[in-house]
């Protein structure tokens, strides 16, 4: 029971509407193909920062949904952000955690705790308004509209296989400083 991350990202890309998206690590190569020129900024160069970057965007732009496409190893690096996000109560914040149990980019070393770490339970305990774990694509497809319309902050732990590509195998993409400048300019007009 696991979802191919590319399939989950495709569903999210189709359903996101005008949401700002913050992919990181193994969600980033597929995302730049699925959403090549839009309201996205990839968290790269400061692993673990996607949730906090998304929180800042969500607080600045309460009129727009912010979707963070996080990794399990990444979130563990700034696990305290669950409490910070819960405390800030951004109603427009949706936190997806792609859980594959390993640091895929660096060679698939197991994360602390491996697949037994329950991010949905952690998010609920931290104070997120809702948190769910989903391991089947059809289940994600069925529940995604309600998840994206829910009052945040909410977290969805997606149990996934390994991605086809990682930032190490699919290098490239727009450099981070140019992404942030482009997003800031786009956000002025939407």
Partner 1 sequence: MPESIPASLIIDTLKDTFTEARVAFAAEGQPPSRHAHLGWVLSVPDTHQRTVLAALDKEQAIRTLTCATEDEAVTVAAGLYLGGEPAVVMIQHAGLYASVNTLRGVSLDGRLPVFYLIGLLSRERDRDPRESRHSMVRHCEPLLDTFGVPHARLEGPGDLHLIPEYHRVSRERRGPAVVLVGLETS
Instruction: Give the nearer residue to partner 1 in terms of CB position, either 5 or 16.
Output: 16
Q: Does 151 bind partner 1 (CB under 8 A)?
A: no
Q: Does 29 bind partner 1 (CB under 8 A)?
A: no
Q: Does 171 bind partner 1 (CB under 8 A)?
A: no
Beta-carbon contacts of residue 66 (< 8 Å; ≥ 6 apart): 19, 20, 21, 22, 54, 55, 57, 58, 90, 92, 93, 94
Q: Does 60 bind partner 1 (CB under 8 A)?
A: yes
Q: Does 35 bind partner 1 (CB under 8 A)?
A: no
Residue 74 Cβ, how far from partner 1 at the closest point, in Å? 12
Which stretches within 109-175 are classed as H helix? 119-126, 137-149
Residue 109 β-bridge partners: 103
CB burial class (10 A; 0-12, 13-18, 19+) of residue 187? middle
Rounded Cα gap, residues 34 and 94, in angstroms: 19
Instruction: Give the nearer residue to partner 1 in terms of CB position, either 1 or 185.
Output: 185
Q: Does 21 bind partner 1 (CB under 8 A)?
A: no
Q: Does 56 bind partner 1 (CB under 8 A)?
A: yes
Residues near partner 1 (CB under 8 A) are 41, 45-46, 48-49, 52-63, 78, 80-81, 83-84, 87-88, 176-177, 180-181, 183-185, 187-188
């Amino acid at each position: 029971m696991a979802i191919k991350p590319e399939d989950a990202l495709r569903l999210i890309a189709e359903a996101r509407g005008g949401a700002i998206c913050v992919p990181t690590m193994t969600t980033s190569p597929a995302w730049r193909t699925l959403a090549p020129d839009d309201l996205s900024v990839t968290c790269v160069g400061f692993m673990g920062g996607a949730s906090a970057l998304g929180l800042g965007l969500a607080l600045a732009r309460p009129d727009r949904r912010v979707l963070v496409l996080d990794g399990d190893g990444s979130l563990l690096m700034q696990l305290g952000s669950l409490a910070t996000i819960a405390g800030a109560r951004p109603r427009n914040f949706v936190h997806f955690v792609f859980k594959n149990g390993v640091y895929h980019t660096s060679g698939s070393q197991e994360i602390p705790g491996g697949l037994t770490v329950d991010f949905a339970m952690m998010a609920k305990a931290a104070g997120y308004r809702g948190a769910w774990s989903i391991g089947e694509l059809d289940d994600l497809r069925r529940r995604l509209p309600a998840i994206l319309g829910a009052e945040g902050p909410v977290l969805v732990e997606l149990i996934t296989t390994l991605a086809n590509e990682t930032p190490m195998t699919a290098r490239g993409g727009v450099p981070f400083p140019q992404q942030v400048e482009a997003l800031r300019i786009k956000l002025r007009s939407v």
